[in-house]
Structure 1
Amino acid sequence: MSDAPEVNPAPAKTHEPHPLDALTGGAFSAATSGERASRIRDWLATQPSPEQLQEVFKELSGRDKGAARAVRERLDEIRRAKGQEAIAAEWAEKAQALLAAPKLNIADALAWQRDAAKAGAPLSREPLSLLKVQLADRVKVIEDLQHRVQVQREAAVLLAQRIEVLSTKPWRDAQAALELLRADVGRWQEQAQELTGDASWASVEARFPPLLDASRTQLLVVWEAFQPAVAQAVAAAEDTAAPLPPVPVWADELRAARGLSTAASEAAAASAAAGKPARVAKPKVAPEVIEKAHQLVRDALATLEKETAEGHGKASAGAAAALRAVLKVHGKHIDNALEQQVHTALVAAGELEGWQRWSADQVREELVAKAEALLNRPEGQALGGRKMQETLRSLREQWKQADQGGAPNHALWKKFDEACNAAHKVVEAWLDKIRAEAAEHKAQRLALIEEVKAWAQEHAASGDWKAINRALYQFGDRWREGGHVGEKIFAELQPLWKQAIALAAAPLEAAQKESLARRHAMIEEATALGAAPSLRIDAVKALQQRWQAEAQTVPLDRKHEQKLWDAFRKPIDEAFNRKSADRERAVTELSARDRVVLDASKALEAANATGDAQQIRAAMQALEAALRGQAQAAEAVATANKDAQSQAEARSVAAPAAAEGGAEAVEGGDAAAAAPATPAAPKPAARPVVAVRGDDRPGMKKDAPAAPGRGARPGDRRDGRPGDRDGARGPRTDGRMGDRGDRGGRFGDRPAFEDRGPRLGDTAFRAQREAMEHAQLALKKLAAQAHGEALTQLLTAWEKRDAALVPGAQELGAGVTASVRSAWTQALSAAPKGDASEAMLRLEMAAEAPTPAEHIAARRMLQLQLLTRRNDPAPAQTWGQDVARVLAGPSDAASARRLQNVLKTLLRK
């Protein structure tokens, strides 16, 4: 041994760890893909940063794509979350803007939720979920305000009706109800003030505030006229010298209490009010004048009552006006009863003329306040030009109506007119803007007309009709979107536009006219082709191609083109329909053979409905027998054809012999007379087809050994000898290789394919096919039901440890032999013992069934152990013994469920 050191010793192989092993918990140094994926999942549970995820995915995707899939999914999830956050922030900002606005439009709030859902915003997560609830609450508050406005409007109408009804009753009833009415009117005003003072009142739709204002005005007019009238009635009752109230019913009641007639009371009251002595009564009016006045008033009153009862609003207003006109002329000649009826009818018709006449100045003051408020509105609520114009017109119309109910008030009119003129400046500015826009739009339209004229000259010789049609449509759209102009200007521009567009469309219209002539000619050709006895498919295709080429070249109006296409297609479709009908009629004519198959199919369908497996199988055999009857009929036809061929061959063989016999008779003198007649060839009997090997040509021996064919060893001849390739082909009789003409088919007398007889009709074929499919499904369903019952009985037997409940081998299926069933019964007969967890895992592996999560690790370990046991049988081969080991153990719900899952699959194999 030498003490000298070794020279250049071999370096030991060392595996350096991957730089990312420490980060991922050893995922890159794992031996198997499953272990690598497990470590990656454990690492992902620690919530790594996106940068670490990206780095690991970049390194791992080239090594193990399966393990890198989890990293990629986490990266995709992070990207989606970022996108969701951006979308959520955008829509949250929009929602906050809506909530912060002083006026919220309900349609905008509803559109926010709809558009956010379309954009994919996460409405179920914060902050969008909270904003969605806030918007919904805000919309609910606004809708509640609008509903309360309608309720207040109805309440105002009812209060006004109560006051009007009290005006037709005794004044003491009105005095008794005065305090209650005062409380109700005050409460109505408080509620109306609450509505207008609500923070969301600015978001109410524009049509509701005017409704509330109109209801307040009407109620206050009636109420402020009713209170002085009641006070005047009370004073007149206490002092006979006090003037009577303006309510006719109350005035008549007080006159009756004073003991005065109507005319005398009026004169005394007027004299007392003026401080003058009473005048002498007027002379009496003629009876015929009074009668005529009563008759005219009654007619007008009857008309008003009729229209009011039928609910005719406009007609009742006209009838009330007619009644008032009659009263102006003849009202002084009617009595108190008729006058009371007239006032009652006017109140029922909604006439408030009397109240408006007494309080016309209050209505005028309301109109002045509204006119002055038009200029004092906040900037965000300022009216536009058109809205301001409509509002001023409405206010002036209301002032005219107020003037009709009482004497004019020039001071209020001056204030009202000044306020309206100041507000009209907004309308004037708006009108100036409209005029400027109209001038601009007019210039644009004139420029468009000149552009169309230039375009028409440029494309006059163009043949691209589609492009021309498209350009004309674009010009029309630009004209319609050219902006608003006045009616006078539009009337001036419209003829110029029509002239220019007609000039531009003239070449296209000429081409369309020629195309219509060609299409009508093709329609006539299609009619002629459709009326022909035999439909020429090639001519139809060529005609359709010509039509398509014409349609693609020259465009027409869509509706007109569709009508022409329908007219062109109709005769061809009718011809094809006739052809299809003839074909279907020929198909539907059932032959006797089809009827047999159809009856057997119906019998099989009836058996399918019973659910009896024996009946279904018997019906299937009957249907198969009916189908085989077709082959038997075809075999009879083939036998007859073969007999005819045999007779022809016999005649061809006998002819030369007869000719030779005739020649010998001529040479021998009288030998022709003595020669016996050649007997006719007997009809050969039909021979059954026997599958034999060898040469089965006519004249060859059947028992000769078969020559080796092409399936012999390479280099061997067909006769087994080297050489003479044609020796196995039979004798050469006429210079050809054998007599191929005597063969019955491609390979001797054997047919090329099975002859199943004439084809079935479509109806019979479909019926038998559907019946067979339904029968197979029914048998499969019955087998599944039986399988499920047997499996339930087996699990019950395991639970009760009763071997007598185990189903028979036939019920369990072909996969369970008698020995396997015996092992199962022995396992159930004994007491529970042993641990069957490994047997259960083997069963799940054999059935390829999923294993519960808590047993997955055990299953993987067992799979690794089985890989080392190369000579042991696989679980799919020993599942019967594994079931016996499971049945020998104790039964519980989880094990029964796992056993049921695997036996569903294994018992069917």
Structure 2
Amino acid sequence: MTSNQSAKNTDIASLDRLTGGAFTAATAGERASRIRDWLLTQPGHEQLADVFKELSVKDKGAAKLVREKLDEARRAKGQEALGAEWSAKAQALIDTAKLNIADALAWQRDAAKAGAPLSKEPLLTLKGQLSERVKGIEDLQHQVQVQREAAVLLAQRIEVLSTKALADAQTAVDALRTDVQHWQSQAETLVSNSNWVSVDVKFPALLDASKGQLLVVWDAFQAALALALTAAQDAAAPLPPVPVWADEIRALRGVPAEVAPKISKPKVDPELRAQAQAAVKAALATVEQEVGEGHGKASAGAAAGLRNALKEFGKLIDAKLENQAHAALSAAGELEGWQRWRADQIREELVGKAEGLLKRPDGQAIGGRKMQETLRSLRDQWKQTDQGGVPNHALWKRFDEACNEAYKVVESWLEKVKAESAEHRAQRLALIDEVKAWAAANRTALDDDWKGFNRILYQFSDRWREAGHVGEKMFAELQPLWKAAFAEAAAPLEAVQAQSLAARQAMIEEAKQLGAMPVLRIDAVKSLQQRWQAQAHAIPVDRRQEQKLWDAFRKPIDDAFNRKSADREKAEAALGARDRAVLDAAKALEAANASGDATAIRAAMTALDAALHGQAQAQADVAAEGAGEQAAQGLVQQENPVSTQAESASVAIESVAMEAAAEEVESSAAVAPVVAPKPAPKPVVAVRGDDRPGMKKETPADPRASKFGDRKDAGRGGRDAGKPGFGDRAPRRDDRAGMGDRNRAPMSSAPRLGDTAFRAQREAMENAQFALKKLAAQAHGEALVQLLSAWEKRDAALLPTAQDLGGRAAGQARNAWVKAVSASAAVKSEVASQHLLRLEMAAEVPTPAEHLDARRGMQLQLLTRRNDPAPAQTWAEDTAQVLAAAYDATQARRLQNVLKVLLKR
């Protein structure tokens, strides 16, 4: 016993040294701490077992730590063993030449059940390799199905061509041959794939059968087509086995078509035949309906039902119904095959779109909302495709993985939107509290500034609108709170607005009473408008409502002013004889302006000038004199011709003035029956300016006259000095002997124009001047075009006249231009270019960039030749030199730009 105890004590001492004094620790906490430190040194399994054996008797808490480490080591060892075992099985499956998909899937399932660490190496890599191998085999099997459907479609195309004309078949044979060769190359590619031995045994048979059927049909079609082409060229050659082509060749040969003998069927009981017909027709109608609607799955089931009906009742129905049934079955087969092929194409497109969501070529990421909508759209399209075709699990797996990966962007966006919505909700609640506090502190406007009060409310509204986006449910929760707080804040303003509206309604009624008065009181209207403006400036109202109230307020006053204006216009409507003459002449001038004839415009302007100075009326009155008066005047003229002429002219002028004055008196009497007598006219000291409504009164003229007794500004051509009728509004005296036109009545003799006539003649005269300027510009442009055309054609007859060219082109200059154009091109282009530079300097127009250096050089030369004439003095001779050279389009444009300026100066 003593020896055993000593050995045991020796083991505990060594274990204590091994564990860093854990066995001799004073407390359990210290012992556990030393055990943890020792476990970090990764002790071996035997050491852990010895320490656990001794420590479990003394301290179970510390021993638990050692036991957990032992269990962990045991599990890791088991995991390594499992990993090695399942790694060997997976490697064996990968190395085998013919892999069974079920075995690969079973390996992954069984390994997971056994607890093998599939998420750790090497099982993670092996699992990926097996998945890639299985995916390759599944894709290969799917491609075999696609090839089978493509072979069926090609065979159907060949059969359809055998029912077309020979020319159509010959045209389409090259494209068909290319498709058949492409199909064969794709089939060989599938067979040469390394995973071909691993596909299901039914798929190689399907591919071989499809290939054999396609080649048989293709070879038979080629042989029949070659035989048909030979028979079409050689009348002795046999006919092809295709009935359509044979009939076509018979028609070419002139041989009547053969009629196939009808095979009579044995007689059948009518009741049985009727039952068979009904059954087949019902199945046929179902197939045609499904095919017409494009239902792939439903059409396949309906086609199977029709085939069963044909098997059962095929001998009892007539040939027509049988042919219809076979045509429907053919259409259903085409639809089913096409839809399966088309569905796979659509699925592949959707897979590509889903995988490309995170791999955009432009490198820009799609936003969360757009990504969510795109994923929803892609999944809806996939569902629609599955409804019309057979599902494809391999493509669905790729599509679903790509969509799930892209949905991570949506999840992060949704989290961001959720956080922003919470922040915006907090902002809106804080704004509601702020509005409530402001409403409690501001029950009335400070210093009666209701506009400032309203401005603050609008600022609160703007902040609410700009507080950020929240969901519909949250907005429906916050909106009533906001409306209640805002209504409380706006209550004082609404009360004041109600009082303001009542006051404005009262002012509207007052305006109606003022407008209805027979005599409009201007002072009362002004006072009422000032009260309205004061109310509008003090109390703000909604803009639309305020506009409606203002329209209602101003309407009766406007109506009153309109009635007053109408009365004034009625008074002005009774025009005098001179006003009517001026209006008629102004209308005639407007008509001449519209015609675009310069001669007619000038004639109309002369007629208007005559009407303005009373000549037309005077001439009409003179022409109305009797023959006896003319004779009496003739006798007086014989005695004293000069004095008699002057007196007769003065008498005629006085008569015209008296008649015009009488007419004005009559018209004014018609408007206002009672007129106060006018005082005697005072001598005119200074002529007043334009006193028409809306015009500014000019400064009175200086009473000091020049040595001739006229105004100082009479010869300066004031603003209205050149306009016909200027000064008609204020008659002036003109006592200058020998001045002016003796054949025209003096300005003082013409009565004053009315406002309507004055405005009409002024507008007509301004339009006439503008039209003449426009016609002159047009004529000037046409003259330049004619000049350049004469230069191009070297024909002097095409040159415009001197009048068309304007006063700047004197007769000598035009003669020089005629000689230059008439003769052949005698001036070189370089010399013409030098003269063009002088012309551009004379006209001060820019020179093209390529000739700027030459222009600067010429300017330097001109500075050294002080006695030579300037280019502005010799532009006509320079133009003749340019015209004497050969025509050049570039130089022609430069010459046209120059003459536009020179001929106008």
TM-score of the pair, normalised by structure 2:
0.42
TM-score of the pair, normalised by structure 1:
0.42
